[in-house]
Amino acid sequence: WDLGSPLPLWPCQERDGSHVEVEPLCVLDFYIHESQQRRGLGRELFREMLQRERVQPEKLAVDRPSEKLLGFLRKHFGLCDLIPQVNNFVIFEGFFSTRTAPARRPFPRPRPEEPIKPYSLSERD
C-alpha cells in the first residue's frame, strides 16, 4: 500500500456542520484479484497497514471509496456511520474523538530589512 504523506491541512466537516482543519492519514480504494478473493487477504492487508501506521480505522480519511470498500469497512471494522466531505473524501463517526488539534505552523515573518510585498507582487512557485 502507498499512503504517502498526510495531505496538507484541509477543512473537514463534523456531523454538526462545523468545520475543522485536519491533516488526516488518507487511504485509497484497493483491490484483491478475483482469484484471491474470499480468503481474508484484504482484511489481512488492511490490518497490517493499520498496525504499521499505528492508526485506528475510524481515524482514516478514505478517498472516493467504492461501494465494495464501504461494505468491507462495515463488515470487518464496523465503520457504518460515514460523514461525506465536500472534497470527495469520506470520514467515519469517531474520526474526531480523542483528537488533539494539529500544531499550527506560524507564517514566516519577513526579515526586518525586507519590505512587505503585496501577494500580487510576490514570486510564486
pLDDT of residue 18 exceeding 70: yes
Question: What secondary structure does DSSP assign to 18-66, as a single string?
Answer: -EEEE--EEEE-----GGGTTSSHHHHHHHHHHHHHT--GGGEEEES--
What does the domain layout of the chain look like in residue ranges?
A: 22-92
Q: Dihedral of CA 21/103/63/60: which sign?
A: negative
What pLDDT score does 116 carry? 53
Q: How remote is the C-alpha of 104 from its chain's centroid?
A: 18
Quote the percentage of the chain above a pLDDT of 70.
Answer: 66
**Grid cell 471509496 — which residue?**
65
CA distance 32 to 91: 23
Count of CB atoms within 10 A of residue 88's CB? 10
Contact 10, 21 (CB under 8 A): yes
CA distance 125 to 107: 17
Quote the percentage of the chain above a pLDDT of 90.
Answer: 50
Average pLDDT (32-52) is 94
> pLDDT by residue (tens digit) across 82-125?
999 888 899 999 998 865 544 444 545 555 565 555 555 555 54
Contact 3, 27 (CB under 8 A): yes
CATH class label, 22-92: alpha beta
Average pLDDT (55-81) is 95
CA distance 30 to 123: 40
Cell of 87: 472534497
3-class DSSP state of 77: helix
Residue with the bigger pLDDT between 9 and 26: it is 26
